[in-house]
């Protein structure tokens, strides 16, 4: 079965290379019993790929079930997946089969696998390795033959680093990885999808199909679509129902996508984890440099105030030289010695231009000392972020603009105590 036939059968629209590569991988792995891990952002259509794998496999005549593991409460997920015996817990008035028992011989799709509790992960690992499991409250070992297709929109490697996902389970699930590309990487497919949704909604609401002019189409294709296909479908429905004109222009489409007015800097995608981490490190360095700029401005103001409070007679040009660090035209120490005998500059002025000392006061010393080391400032920013978010690494990482994995590595590197 060729890819075009599969697209028509499952309603997949698009011709981008990344999409076709994901489809091709799904088709090739379908006839096997290998575990598959589907990765991709929320709304890209990961469940469709699990259905393709099941429909093209020898198990296609047996049951298929999709389970969102992130939506099942932690206290009941083991019972839902593996079943329970009567009396196993309060409310267990009878025996109950779990999904792995009822779907024996078929395929189970475990969505949001990264949200699965650690004890459930251990039970799942046993099924993948031996096909054995036990119901909650039972000591009897049962067997099942179920193919597992898992999906996640989060980085499981980051969760492994933070101790929230088992590394051995990750490699069991990741036998064959499939990455479903986000909509922003399929720009040529965006208008095709929108047009398909517009036709569907015109039939549903019995109206004329909306059209986009050139500018509206460009806005649509250059928007980042954080909600991916799900968001695009919602926008198509809103425009179909609420637009006053059937030919939608730029101003009209911006009513429905106000965030499209915001310019986004290009995102550099990296195939290697190391390169991705370097990009994230550069981002935090840029933040540090901006903060340093603010600190230097404060330092300039302090120098100016010190000169003013000591009644130093400094010509305008020379004062500008003191304040303009970038031009490096500050007055020499000799200038102050010759013109102001009661005011001295330390010999190490070139190394510490921010340090001034008054000879008149004897014991009165005014010093402004601050480390401008990028590492020290980065360490301090990480400490502040952790303190601000009460050691919640995920929130601190978002505030710093880096991944949780990078933050974890930095905490170890700087030996920061949480």
Q: What's the pLDDT at 72?
A: 94
**What DSSP assignment string belongs to 336-360?**
HHHH-TTEE--TTTTT-TT-EEEST
Cβ neighbours of residue 230 closer than 8 Å, sequence gap 6 or more:
42, 43
DSSP letter at 210 equals P
**What DSSP assignment string belongs to 119-185?**
HHHHHHHHHHHHSEE--BT----EE---EEEEEESS-HHHHHHTTSS-HHHHHHHTTEEEEPPPGGG
Residue with tokens 């909600």: 227
Q: Could you tell me the sign of the dihedral formed by the alpha carbons of 308, 309, 310, 311, in that order? A: positive
**Do residues 397 and 406 make contact, with C-beta atoms less than 8 angstroms apart?**
yes
Please tell me the number of Cα atoms within 13 Å of 230 on its side-chain side.
Answer: 10
Which domains does the chain possess?
Answer: 3-181 (3.40.50.300), 184-261 (1.10.8.60)
Cα distances (angstroms) measured from residue 193 to each of 13, 146, 188, 230: 6, 34, 10, 11
Please tell me the distance from the alpha carbon of residue 418 to that of residue 415, in angstroms, as a whole number.
9
Token pair listed for 265: 């800097």
Please tell me the distance from the alpha carbon of residue 312 to that of residue 156, in angstroms, as a whole number.
62
Q: What's the pLDDT at 280?
A: 56
Helix axes 228-242, 187-204, angle to 10 degrees: 40
Please tell me the distance from the alpha carbon of residue 337 to that of residue 384, in angstroms, as a whole number.
42
Please tell me the distance from the alpha carbon of residue 210 to that of residue 199, in angstroms, as a whole number.
8
Q: What's the pLDDT at 388?
A: 84
Please tell me the distance from the alpha carbon of residue 299 to that of residue 358, in angstroms, as a whole number.
18
Q: What's the pLDDT at 311?
A: 63
Q: Indicate the pTM of the whole model.
A: 0.62
pLDDT truncated to tens, each residue of the chain (418 aa)? 789 999 999 999 999 999 999 999 999 999 999 999 999 999 999 999 999 999 999 999 999 999 999 999 998 999 999 999 998 888 888 999 999 999 999 999 999 999 999 999 999 999 999 999 999 999 999 999 999 999 999 999 999 999 999 999 999 999 999 999 999 999 999 999 999 999 999 999 999 999 999 999 999 999 999 999 999 999 999 999 999 889 999 999 999 998 876 644 444 444 444 444 555 566 666 666 766 766 777 777 777 766 666 666 555 544 444 444 444 444 454 544 454 444 444 444 444 444 444 444 444 444 445 555 777 888 888 888 888 888 888 888 888 878 888 888 888 888 887 7
Cβ neighbours of residue 131 closer than 8 Å, sequence gap 6 or more:
143, 144, 145, 146
Q: Could you tell me the sign of the dihedral formed by the alpha carbons of 53, 173, 71, 107, in that order? A: positive
Please tell me the distance from the alpha carbon of residue 252 to that of residue 237, in angstroms, as a whole number.
14
Token pair listed for 104: 């024996």
Please tell me the distance from the alpha carbon of residue 246 to that of residue 311, in angstroms, as a whole number.
73
Q: What's the pLDDT at 175?
A: 94
Q: What's the pLDDT at 267?
A: 45
Residue 232 CB neighbours (<10 A): 21
Phi, psi (degrees; rounded to nearest 5) at 38 = -100, 125
Please tell me the distance from the alpha carbon of residue 203 to that of residue 197, in angstroms, as a whole number.
10
Cα distances (angstroms) measured from residue 150 to each of 7, 124, 154, 395: 21, 11, 12, 26
- What is the layout of strands, in order, in the sheet containing 107-111? 64-68, 107-111, 147-152, 36-39, 176-179
């Amino acid at each position: 079965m060729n890819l075009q036939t599969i697209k028509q059968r499952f309603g997949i629209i698009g011709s981008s290379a990344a999409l076709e590569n994901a489809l091709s991988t799904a088709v090739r792995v379908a006839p096997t019993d290998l575990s598959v891990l589907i990765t991709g952002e929320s709304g890209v259509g990961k469940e469709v790929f699990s259905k393709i794998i099941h429909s093209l496999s020898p198990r296609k005549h047996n049951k298929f079930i999709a389970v969102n593991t992130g939506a099942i409460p932690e206290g009941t997920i083991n019972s839902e997946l593996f079943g329970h015996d009567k009396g196993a817990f309060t409310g267990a008035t009878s025996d109950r089969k779990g999904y792995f028992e009822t779907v024996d011989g078929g395929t189970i799709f475990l969505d949001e696998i990264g949200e699965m509790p650690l004890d459930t992960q251990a039970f799942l690992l046993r099924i993948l390795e031996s096909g054995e499991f036990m119901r909650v409250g039972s000591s009897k070992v049962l067997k099942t033959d179920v193919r597992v297709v898992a999906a996640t929109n989060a980085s499981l490697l980051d969760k492994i680093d933070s101790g929230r996902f088992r590394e051995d389970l990750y490699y069991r699930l990741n036998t064959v990885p499939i990455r479903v590309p986000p909509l922003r990487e399929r720009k040529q497919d965006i208008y095709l999808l929108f047009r398909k949704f517009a036709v569907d909604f015109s039939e549903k609401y019995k109206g004329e199909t909306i059209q986009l002019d050139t500018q509206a189409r460009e806005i649509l294709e250059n928007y980042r679509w954080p909600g991916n296909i799900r968001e695009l479908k919602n926008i198509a429905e809103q425009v179909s129902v609420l637009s006053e004109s059937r030919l939608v222009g730029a101003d009209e489409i911006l009513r429905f996508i106000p965030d499209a007015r915001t310019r986004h800097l290009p995102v550099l995608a990296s195939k290697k984890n190391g390169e991705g981490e370097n990009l994230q490190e550069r981002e935090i360095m840029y933040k540090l440099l901006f903060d340093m700029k603010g600190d230097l401005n404060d330092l300039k103001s302090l120098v100016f105030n010190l000169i003013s409070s000591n009644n130093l007679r400094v010509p305008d040009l020379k004062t500008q030289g003191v304040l303009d660090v970038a031009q490096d035209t500050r007055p020499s120490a000799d200038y102050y010695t010759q013109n102001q005998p009661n005011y001295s500059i330390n010999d190490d002025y070139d190394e510490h231009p921010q340090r001034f000392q008054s000879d008149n006061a004897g014991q009165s010393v005014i010093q402004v000392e601050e480390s401008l080391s990028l590492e020290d400032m980065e360490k301090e920013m990480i400490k502040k972020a952790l303190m601000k978010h009460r050691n919640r690494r995920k929130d601190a990482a978002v505030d710093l603009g880096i991944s949780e994995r990078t933050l974890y590595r930095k905490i170890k590197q700087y030996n920061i105590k949480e």
